[in-house]
Amino acid sequence: MDKGLFSQFRVRGDKLTGPCPVHGGDNPGAFVVNLSKNVWHCFTGCAGGGDVIELVRRMDRIPPAQIARYLSSLVGSSPVHYPVPSPAAKPFRPFTRRLDLNPDTQFLEQKAIYPETARRFNAGAWNNPGFLKDCIGVRLHDPKGYPIGYAGRRLNLLDIKKYGKWKFPTRLPKSSLLYNYHRVRSHMKRGLVVVECPWGVMRLAQLSIPAVALLGTNLSPIQLNLLRNAPRIILMLDGDTAGKNAIRNIRKKLDSVLPIKSFSLPDGLDPDDLNDWQLSKVSRLFLS
């Protein structure tokens, strides 16, 4: 790895931005490193991202089994020079209060999520000013079940185009979370389905299928360690390009660790776009 690659990067809060060292681009805002979460993302040529292991794998073409040894060899060598954010990034502050969200919304109805399911997951509309304004809120917990705040699925099309579908609390340690893990960690004797977002988790829960969501398309080392407790994994990510690329990348990380299968979705569809009969195919994967 070129230890001088960060010399071209600029500091923006707890993030570094610069040209992508993976595909060799020259767009100064294409590649973003989140220092508090230890993840990176390329928004142009790579159209993806990951943790430091994935970065080394892509840049230096090192087999996954040898990456840990390679990274260890860098310890004690000449330091990597990159800008240090100043002032220091503030730590994440959990929001533990439970909000009274309205589960009877057209959005959740279109997702075929029953009001009783939304209540159980504390999901729904927030009809007051604040962080969840114009969003469908979803309560978040850490892996042990402690509440840490809410994520919001934006409804305003202009906001979605500008900021993306999901809104997360500032400095949320997303790479250390698996949505719904605290509910299913003792109920996954047959296996576990991994999806991208909470709606797929809720739809599968209505069919008594244990599932967790990555809250994105990257699998961090912390999330991988949580998944080790499952006897096998079924990947059911979105049917877009990002989801299909994520399935390939995650399979590379999990193939040598856990038995893994993938459930292919039609192009452009998410798990929550499927009907119950289509989702029930996942049950057959569990039993096969």
User: Which listed CATH number (3.40.1080.10, 3.90.580.10, 3.30.420.40, 3.40.462.20) goes with 5-74?
Assistant: 3.90.580.10
Confidence of residue 84 (pLDDT cuts 50, 70, 90): very low
Span 135-158, mean pLDDT?
96
Position with higher pLDDT, 139 vs 281: 139
Q: What pTM did the predictor assign?
A: 0.69
| Contact present, 126 and 141 (Cβ < 8 Å) | no
Most confident of 102-116, 179-193, 266-280: 102-116
Most confident of 99-103, 186-190, 228-232, 240-244: 99-103
In the β-sheet with 166-167, what is the strand arrangement from edge to edge?
Answer: 123-125, 135-141, 147-154, 166-167
Q: What is the pLDDT of residue 49?
A: 82
Question: How many whole angstroms separate alpha carbon 145 and alpha carbon 21?
Answer: 38
Position with higher pLDDT, 57 vs 89: 57
- Tokens of residue 163, six digits: 């900021």
Q: What is the pLDDT of residue 30?
A: 75
Domain spanning 181-287: which CATH class is it, in words? alpha beta
Confidence of residue 146 (pLDDT cuts 50, 70, 90): very high
Question: How many whole angstroms separate alpha carbon 43 and alpha carbon 57?
Answer: 18
Q: What is the pLDDT of residue 53?
A: 73
Mean pLDDT of the chain: 83
Give the residue from 145, 240, 168, 230 showing the smallest Cα distance to 194: 230
User: Which listed CATH number (3.40.50.12160, 3.90.980.10, 3.40.50.720, 3.40.50.150) goes with 106-172?
Assistant: 3.90.980.10
Span 31-56, mean pLDDT?
78
- Tokens of residue 255, six digits: 């193939």
